[in-house]
Amino acid sequence: MQRIDFQTEPSRYRHWRIECDGDVAYLIMDVDQAGGLGEGYELKLNSYDLGVDIELNDAVQRLRFEHPEVGAVVIKSGKDNVFCAGANIRMLGKATHGHKVNFCKFTNETRLAIEDASENSKQTYICAINGNAAGGGYELALAADHIMLVDDRRSAVALPETPLLAVLPGTGGLTRVTDKRRVRRDRADVFCSIEEGIRGTKAVEWRLVDEVVPNSKWNDTVARRAHEIAARSDRPKNAKGISFKQLSRKIEADRVSYSHVECDIDRARGLVTITVRGPSQAVPASVEAAHALGDQFWPLLVARELEDAILHLRANEAAIGVVLLRTEGNAAAVLEHDDFLIRHESDWLMREIRHYLKRTLKRIDTTPKSFIALIEPGSCFAGTLAELAFAADRSLMLIGTREGDNRKAAAITLGHANFGLYPMGNALTRLETRFLGEPTTIAALKGKIGAAVEADEADQLGLITQAYETFDWDDELRVMLEGRASFSPDAMTGMEANLRFAGPETMETKIFGRLTAWQNWIFQRPNAIGEQGALKLYGSGVSPTFAKERV
């Protein structure tokens, strides 16, 4: 199978381009019809596949870091009279079920990153729809804070997946229509049941878009609105951005290695060990010195490397079901870097790095693999890296030290970063999610900030799942891993996804939990992908035949 690479940069883009006009950037979608990631389909009418979205994700990240002067981003089409036809249907029809699910998950994460940029980076996204925005095309628009639609009697917004393909919009469309756009339930029901969509003033009345603009005033109005919105941003107008260089990465048969992250794959046992190393250099002397380090500043570099490793494993190692999380390094150095980010939180770059770390950790939360943290002598589960242990499904800790090992006993070191810097999709921290309903526990844990909490105390505080003596460690780990491997991978995926997001439901948890679960199921039903299913027969002129039983 072709290896999917999530690294790219603007000179390699085939489907997007970025054009800047002072404090406004235009993110222009001009999909190369022949540029599909796979074979056997053409990306007509600005339809997209995973390759298109990999570029979009890269562009969204670069705009945040490389263009601090940009306060508003306009997503627009580079083609006349068409905005975006959504996910390419031929691609979906040919893709494996696993690829479809990973595709939807990645596109969801990219749309959420757009919303995160608007909310937390003050780089507000506007969508300018000239032509039809159907399915995933309208879902892309829904990620923007402000949607503009040209009023030319042709252009419309639509979510036609149910009548056309017997599936659901796969990138949060249903949820954003009701929860974000506040569209009335009965109107949403009508909207999602028709193929042709809704245009003009009716689209504004139903809150599907924010404004319609006559064709004669389109370009001027889009530019004026973008500059108005950009003027409200707190992003620095004269700051210098930092460029993202290609990650230093080596891919071998059973190993993927970066400067601070290593993945060692054991295919016989169906597991991978990810080791994340702490900073090798002292915290910068000033925020200016941190800027000078650019993309080599440890918190940013480790976020990029860990994100790429997680995406690589998702897309290219589907049979690997268990991830062992290990860390190495100096706990004090991690806490110093965390405190540096907090101390300079008003600086635009430190803000961006903090939110990048947050998004990277969220990718772990939504990855369908079992994560087990192993906390041993020499580990560095401190502050930001302690979040890896709290993101894990289980965490095991060695009591004391091994014979002949002169390193200090294993410990977890809490930092200020663990109490608010990295909220999950449920809007709670991982500690708040872990100790749901125990506010006194959270208050007590704050008193442990900076202290090295060893195994027995970590167990008493509830920070770990189990502590083991050295003579039990190997056997207990082996038994646990063998038991995990004996379970159904499907059941594990469902169980983990349910247990990870305790607490309140948000738009994000609905998208990854409720919507993704339903779409996952519907994608496997004969009504969608059977020989007489809608997804298989689309474009053939033959109407699908549906089994009428409701399940």
Q: Which domains does the chain have, with CATH numbers?
A: 10-230 (3.90.226.10), 270-417+451-499 (3.90.226.10)
> Which residues on adjacent β-strands are paired with residue 265?
272
Residue-level pLDDT at 358? 98
184 vs 539, which has greater pLDDT?
A: 184
Mean pLDDT of 394-412: 92
Is residue 224 very low, low, confident or very high in pLDDT (cuts 50, 70, 90)?
Answer: very high
Residue 72, φ and ψ in degrees, nearest 5:
-145, 140
312 vs 404, which has greater pLDDT?
A: 312
Residue-level pLDDT at 551? 80
Residue-level pLDDT at 255? 97
**Running DSSP on this structure, what letter comes out for residue 404?**
T
> Which residues on adjacent β-strands are paired with residue 146?
126
The residue among 66, 153, 161, 170 whose CA lies nearest residue 109 is 170
> Which residues on adjacent β-strands are paired with residue 275?
262, 326
Q: Which of 27-41, 47-61, 535-549 has the lowest mean pLDDT?
A: 535-549
Q: Which of 26-40, 124-138, 520-534 has the lowest mean pLDDT?
A: 520-534
Residue-level pLDDT at 406? 87
Mean pLDDT of 135-142: 97
Mean pLDDT of 110-131: 97
Report the chain's mean pLDDT, rounded to a whole number: 95
Residue-level pLDDT at 539? 85
Is residue 1 very low, low, confident or very high in pLDDT (cuts 50, 70, 90)?
Answer: low
C-alpha to C-alpha distance for 269 and 482, rounded to whole angstroms: 9
* The amino acid at 156: A
124 and 73 Cβ atoms separated by less than 8 Å: yes
319: burial class by Cβ within 10 Å (0-12, 13-18, 19+)? exposed
The residue among 392, 362, 378, 381 whose CA lies nearest residue 458 is 381
Structure tokens belonging to residue 268: 């016989």
C-alpha to C-alpha distance for 134 and 84, rounded to whole angstroms: 6
Express each pLDDT in 486-508 by its tens digit: 999 989 988 998 899 899 999 99
Residue 466, φ and ψ in degrees, nearest 5:
-160, 145
Q: Is the dihedral of CA 245, 422, 366, 269 positive or negative?
A: positive
C-alpha to C-alpha distance for 51 and 262, rounded to whole angstroms: 25
Structure tokens belonging to residue 195: 């193929």
Mean pLDDT of 467-492: 93
Mean pLDDT of 128-155: 97
Structure tokens belonging to residue 356: 């990048």
Express each pLDDT in 243-289 by its tens digit: 999 999 999 999 999 999 999 999 999 999 999 999 999 999 999 99
Express each pLDDT in 295-315 by its tens digit: 999 999 999 999 999 999 999
3-state secondary structure of 505: coil
C-alpha to C-alpha distance for 304 and 409, rounded to whole angstroms: 30
Concatenating the DSSP letter of every residue in 352-402 gives: HHHHHHHHHHHHHHT-SSEEEEEE-TT--EEGGGHHHHHHSSEEEEE-S--
> Which residues on adjacent β-strands are paired with residue 372?
324, 394
Please check the confidence at residue 354 and state whether its pLDDT lies above 90. yes
Percent of the chain with pLDDT over 70: 100
Residue found under tokens 């979040």: 387
Residue 216, φ and ψ in degrees, nearest 5:
-65, -25
257 and 273 Cβ atoms separated by less than 8 Å: no
> Which residues on adjacent β-strands are paired with residue 87?
48
